[in-house]
């Protein structure tokens, strides 16, 4: 268990603040530790190695992340309007990540690429603390449109083999195109993406996602650690340049990225007490850790952790 979690257990939320400078770290850890709702979510392993942008990009901008083992390319989609064809831009931020997590979680739990939307999505977002009306729902609708229209390419190397997924994420839009802009009853994941998801799902604690649902970078780091730590054969040093290539696409300078990354890392570790991670001047040292989701819970959900 991490230091902040031990402090909370020994001194309570307020007492822990006497020992920890970052109040956000304490608040997030406390929220995670006191969450009794439970639940397991699932994410395609490719999304744990390369993620969407944190902020809005120009509508015609192509998003590219390239690391030693993974390459992600997201091309913006188009929309036919009364003014002609317009680009809608690539999805971004925490809302896009939460929608993706919902779609993939439901697909794994039901073993079907046809996902219920409408009330089901609204309830799930509500459980994560996302308001389901007004400005927040407008943001969800915007990200759903972007996810529906974009085209992604994942190129993942494993040993000497390289797998390529070149697909739309879903086969249909998530919202109607009429004036109501209502959620459709169901949506289908594309067949290619669904097959990759079934072969390479990563289990995540929904209580962890709930606690950091508004922090897109912390979400990315948590998902990455959940994917990597339990499978490490030995200690692994990740350099700052390598971290910058994977997580720093939105930053112009390595120094600024490093400062923000360390802040987000603390938040990610606050919802992953078992994670054994140390930051130093060279980067991060990762050590084999217990899975973010205990194997018994993953098995209960019908999943054997193998990826």
Task: Give pLDDT tens digits along the chain (307 positions).
Answer: 788 999 999 999 999 999 998 899 999 999 999 998 878 999 999 899 999 999 999 999 999 998 888 889 999 988 887 778 889 899 999 999 998 998 899 899 999 988 877 667 777 777 777 766 677 778 888 888 888 888 888 887 665 555 555 566 776 656 555 544 555 667 888 888 888 899 889 999 999 999 999 999 999 999 999 999 999 999 999 999 999 999 998 888 999 999 999 999 999 999 999 999 999 999 999 999 999 998 877 767 655 444 4
Other Cβ atoms closer than 10 A to 151: 16
Residues forming a β-bridge with 40: 205
Q: What is the pLDDT of residue 173?
A: 59
What value does the CA radius of gyration of the chain take, rounded to a whole number of Å?
19
Which of 76, 17, 22, 6 minimizes the C-alpha distance to 266?
22
Is the separation of the CB atoms in 200 and 108 below 8 Å? Answer: no
| Residues comprising the chain, all counted | 307
Q: What residue has token string 């999805």?
A: 91
HEC sequence for the chain: CCHHHHHHHHHHHHHHCCCCCCHHHHHHHHHHHHCCCCCEEEEEHHHHHCCCCCCCCCCCCCEEEECCCEEEEEECCEEEECCEEEECCCCCHHHHHHHHHHHHHHHHHHCCCEEECCHHHHHHHHHCCCCCCHHHHHHHHHHHHHHHHCEEEEEEEECCEEEEEEEECECCCCECCCCCCCECCEEEECHHHHHHHHHCEEEEEHHHHHHCCCCHHHHHHHHHHHHHHHHCCCCEEEEHHHHHHHHCCCCCCHHHHHHHHHHHHHHHHHCCCCCEEEEECCEEEEECCCCCCCHHHHHHCCCCCCC
Could you tell me the sign of the dihedral formed by the alpha carbons of 142, 148, 150, 156, in that order? positive
Euclidean distance between CA atoms 307 and 50, whole angstroms? 16
Give residue 278's Cα distance to chain centre: 22
HSE-CB at 82 with a 13 A cutoff on CA atoms is: 2
User: Directed axis angle between helix 216-228 and helix 93-110, to 10°?
Assistant: 40
212, two tokens = 């950091």
Which of 33, 16, 11 minimizes the C-alpha distance to 270?
33
Quote the pTM value: 0.89
Q: What is the pLDDT of residue 160?
A: 57
Q: What is the pLDDT of residue 304?
A: 45
């Amino acid at each position: 268990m991490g230091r902040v979690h031990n402090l909370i257990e020994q001194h309570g939320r307020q007492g822990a603040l006497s020992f920890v400078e970052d109040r956000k770290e304490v608040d997030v850890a406390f929220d995670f530790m006191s969450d009794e709702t439970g639940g397991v979510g699932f994410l395609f392993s490719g999304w744990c190695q390369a993620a969407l942008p944190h902020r809005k990009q120009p509508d015609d901008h192509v998003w590219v992340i390239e690391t030693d083992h993974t390459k992600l390319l997201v091309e913006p989609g188009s929309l036919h309007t009364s003014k002609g064809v317009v680009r809608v831009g690539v999805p971004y931020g925490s809302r896009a990540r939460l929608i993706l997590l919902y779609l993939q979680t439901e697909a794994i739990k039901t073993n079907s690429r046809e996902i219920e939307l409408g009330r089901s999505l609204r309830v799930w977002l509500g459980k994560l603390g996302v308001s389901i009306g007004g400005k927040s729902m407008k943001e969800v609708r915007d990200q759903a449109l972007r996810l529906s229209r974009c085209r992604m390419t994942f190129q993942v190397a494993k040993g000497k083999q390289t797998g390529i997924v070149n697909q739309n994420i879903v086969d249909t839009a998530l919202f109607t195109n009429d004036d109501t802009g209502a959620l459709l009853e169901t949506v289908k994941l594309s067949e290619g993406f669904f097959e990759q998801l079934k072969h390479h799902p990563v289990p995540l604690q929904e209580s962890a996602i709930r606690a950091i649902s508004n922090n897109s970078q912390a979400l990315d780091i948590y998902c990455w650690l959940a994917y990597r730590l339990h499978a490490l054969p030995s200690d692994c040093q990740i350099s700052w340049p390598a971290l910058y290539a994977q997580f720093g696409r939105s930053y112009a300078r390595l120094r600024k990225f490093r400062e923000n990354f360390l802040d987000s890392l603390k938040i990610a570790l606050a919802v992953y007490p078992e994670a054994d991670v140390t930051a130093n001047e060279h980067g991060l040292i990762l050590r084999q850790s217990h899975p973010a989701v205990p194997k018994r819970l993953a098995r209960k959900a019908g999943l054997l952790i193998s990826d």
